């Protein structure tokens, strides 16, 4: 029967990244994959992660399955990291969580629970959004609607249009929000805008589903979670999908969590029960290595302080790269690229056409998505001037 299968197109991001790897030009610049790179073009291992891993390897005595909900220290540490240790939802015991295989697994488990709770729910997704959101959430059969989010002409959040669209969301609907460092545009909601979204959610009765994969890479761990914490404070229900891939560098360890903030402790327990049942259907038992490492870091004051310092350095470097890239682009093109410095996290649209991005690849070996989305962390001191001059050439 396998001979009946048709050839599927290659994933556009992964395919372009493969094309970049195969390019033999020593000056090539790869801005495709959303992975943090240091000045040497490597995805580094945190010192805190290395220390926790060494301790784990030295002390580990079994490879038996993890508990179905995952590592206890990881779950507790992530709940505190996301919501803040003194959050009222935690104090009221109306939060439950399940460790998942990365942020993708967290989104899928959240979708499975939503489907069980309300099969007719519509999921409102920002335009633009991370392309994998649709297949991850749609694979369980949920219906989608789109809300306007980004204005390419101003490189900013189109907040009036967003609120106009979400005013059509009804009770029982779900609104997918990026907690910080929006992927792919880098334009985030302001504190006042988060307040307005909370008020709208109260009025319309929709449930926020927050994807927060980059906590700590925008303005810091607490500032990046402020919107999430506000919604969890004001609303009866919030679902959160979080990842340790970026802020701990645990990409290949697939370490994530789905968090259920409910109206009452018994509702949180029921949500967890459905999450566990969905996990059993999808992957049976959670992976151990990354979650135990992350759990040790979050539970240990010394390792936690080391990790926070390393993460703050990473965040500062990304923000510094944004300032440097802006200066180089403006010097090379005599155009305004101030939005690059204003945005948060690893991503930004440069505002180029697909034809211009194709020319960048063919003529300069500069690789970015056709939408001109770049991974800012792919920029470094040795390639930023070359990148700016290449952009100027196609403009």
Residue 153 CB-half CA count within 13 A: 1
The Cα diameter of the chain in Å comes to: 61
Whether the Cβ atoms of residue 133 and residue 320 lie closer than 8 Å to each other: no
Asked if 298 contacts 73 with a C-beta cutoff of 8 angstroms, the reply is: yes
Scan for tokens 């999808």, then name that residue. Answer: 282
DSSP, residue by residue, 152-213:
TTTTEE-HHHHHHHHTT--TT-EEEEE-SS-TTT-----HHHHHHHHHHHHHH--EEEEEES
Going by C-alpha positions, the residue among 125, 128, 53, 78 that lies closest to residue 247 is 78
| Residue environment code for 63-73, b if the CB has 16+ CB neighbours within 10 A, otherwise e | eeebebbbbeb
Judge whether 127 counts as a catalytic residue. no
Q: Which of the residues 173, 211, 224, 307 is marked catalytic?
A: 211
CA–CA separation, 53 and 296 (whole Å): 9
Query: Which pair of tokens denotes residue 384?
Result: 């930023």
Alpha-carbon distance of 238 to 120, in angstroms, equals: 18
From 71, 246, 307, 344, active-site residue: 246
Q: How many other C-beta atoms are found inside a 10 Å radius of the C-beta of residue 198?
A: 18
Active-site residue, 124 included: no
Closest residue by Cα to residue 28 from 333, 387, 351: 387
Q: Is 194 a catalytic residue?
A: no
| Active-site position among 30, 71, 130, 188 | 130
> What are the catalytic residues?
130, 211, 246
């Amino acid at each position: 029967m396998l001979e009946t299968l048709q050839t599927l197109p290659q994933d556009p991001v992964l395919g372009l990244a493969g094309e970049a790897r195969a390019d033999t030009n020593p000056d090539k610049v790869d801005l495709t994959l959303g992975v943090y790179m240091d000045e040497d073009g490597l995805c580094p291992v945190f010192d805190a992660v290395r220390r926790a891993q060494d301790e784990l390897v030295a002390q580990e005595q079994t490879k038996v399955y993890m508990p179905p909900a995952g590592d206890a220290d990881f779950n507790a540490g992530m709940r505190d990291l996301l919501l803040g240790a003194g959050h009222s939802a935690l104090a009221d015991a109306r939060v439950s969580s399940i460790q998942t295989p990365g942020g993708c697994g967290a989104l899928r488990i959240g979708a499975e629970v939503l489907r069980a709770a309300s099969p007719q729910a519509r999921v409102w997704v920002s335009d633009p959004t991370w392309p994998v959101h649709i297949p991850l959430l749609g694979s369980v059969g949920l219906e989608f609607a789109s809300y306007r989010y980004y204005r390419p002409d101003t490189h900013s959040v189109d907040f009036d249009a967003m609120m106009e669209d979400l005013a059509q969301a009804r009770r029982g609907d779900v609104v997918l929000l990026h907690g910080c460092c929006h992927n792919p545009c880098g334009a985030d909601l302001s504190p006042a805008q988060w307040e307005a979204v909370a008020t709208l959610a109260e009025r319309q009765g929709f449930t926020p589903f927050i994807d927060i994969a980059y906590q700590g890479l925008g303005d810091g761990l607490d500032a990046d979670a402020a919107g999430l914490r506000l919604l969890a404070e004001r609303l009866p229900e919030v679902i959160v999908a979080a990842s340790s891939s970026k802020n701990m560098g645990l990409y290949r360890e697939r370490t994530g969590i789905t968090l259920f903030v409910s109206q009452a402790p018994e509702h949180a327990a029921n949500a967890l029960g459905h999450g566990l049942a969905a996990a059993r259907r999808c992957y049976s038992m959670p992976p151990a290595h990354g979650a135990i490492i992350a759990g040790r870091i979050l539970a240990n004051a010394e390792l936690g302080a080391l990790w926070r310092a390393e993460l703050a350095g990473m965040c500062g470097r990304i923000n510094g790269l944004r300032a440097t890239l802006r200066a180089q682009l403006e010097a090379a093109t005599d155009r305004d690229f101030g939005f690059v410095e204003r945005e948060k996290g690893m991503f930004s649209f440069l505002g180029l056409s697909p034809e211009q991005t194709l020319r960048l690849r063919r003529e300069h070996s500069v690789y970015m998505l056709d939408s001109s989305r770049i991974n800012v962390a792919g920029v470094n001191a040795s390639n930023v001037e070359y990148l700016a001059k290449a952009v100027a050439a196609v403009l």
